[in-house]
Amino acid sequence: MKKRVAILISGRGSNMRSLMAAASAPDFPAEIALVISNIGSAAGIQFAADAGIATEIVPHKAYESREAFDRAVSAHLEEAKIDIVCLAGFMRILSDWFASRWQGRMINIHPSLLPLFKGTHVHEQALQAGVRVSGCTVHFVVPELDAGPIIAQATVPVKSDDTPETLAARVLVEEHKLYPAALKLLAEGKVRLEAGRAVFSC
Ligand code: GRF
């Protein structure tokens, strides 16, 4: 039986689209059952709706606290019987409650080789540091931001004339391949979170 996946987005949703494309293959072990955005105008939400996927807008500004927002999101996930949550450009910091509630079943993609360059302005950080290689990481989500156990990584070269935009574009190409591959591993049970580490059985 395919795992039911929800994707949480805040913006254009290109990683969401790569997950949707992968999940459209008959033998992919997961289906995209729900897309949630905290931003009603997010381009990705229209794309998902047009593709016939259930969507929910949960505007964070309508909630008095971070946890109240997170509980509203979680209620939608539970109602849709979601097995796995994929964060894809979801620009909200999650409460410890939410991270614990979905621990081991929630993954994120980050556009750097973690543990380097957490947070925002990631490509600026990479160029500032002068690294010759950058990339992207898919990791389990834990309460600490961008600190969860690593499932998969891909690298790209950093060129001497790179701007944050050119580097971001090169990394994004790899993100679109890496995220579906990592979701496949999780959905097939080939990676799991155990005692704070990603444990692989493949
Ligand atoms: C991606 O670079 C992702 O790694 C980061 O936010 C960006 C989202 O882009 N977390 P998109 O909305 O998936 O196009």
83 lines ligand 1 (CB under 6 A): no
DSSP 153: E
Residue 202, pLDDT above cutoff 90: no
Q: Sorting pLDDT into bands at 50, 70 and 90, what band is 113? A: very high
| Count of C-beta atoms within a 10 Å radius of residue 161 | 5
Structure tokens at 97: 């409650």
- Asked if 92 and 61 touch (Cβ cutoff 8 Å), the reply is no
pLDDT value of position 167? 98
Shortest-distance Cα residue to atom 1 of ligand 1: 89
Alpha helices in the chain (DSSP H): 14-23, 43-50, 66-79, 96-101, 122-129, 164-187
Per-residue pLDDT of 16-58, as tens digits, reads 999 999 999 999 999 999 999 999 999 999 999 999 999 999 9
pLDDT value of position 175? 98
- What is the SS3 assignment for 185? helix
pLDDT value of position 145? 94
Residue 165, pLDDT above cutoff 90: yes
- For residues 107-119, give the mean pLDDT: 98
pLDDT value of position 109? 98
Active-site positions read 110
Shortest-distance Cα residue to atom 5 of ligand 1: 89
- Burial class (CB within 10 angstroms; exposed 0-12, middle 13-18, buried 19+) of 70: buried
Per-residue pLDDT of 53-102, as tens digits, reads 999 999 999 999 999 999 999 999 999 999 999 999 999 999 999 999 99
- Asked if 88 and 8 touch (Cβ cutoff 8 Å), the reply is yes
10 lines ligand 1 (CB under 6 A): no
pTM for the structure as a whole: 0.97
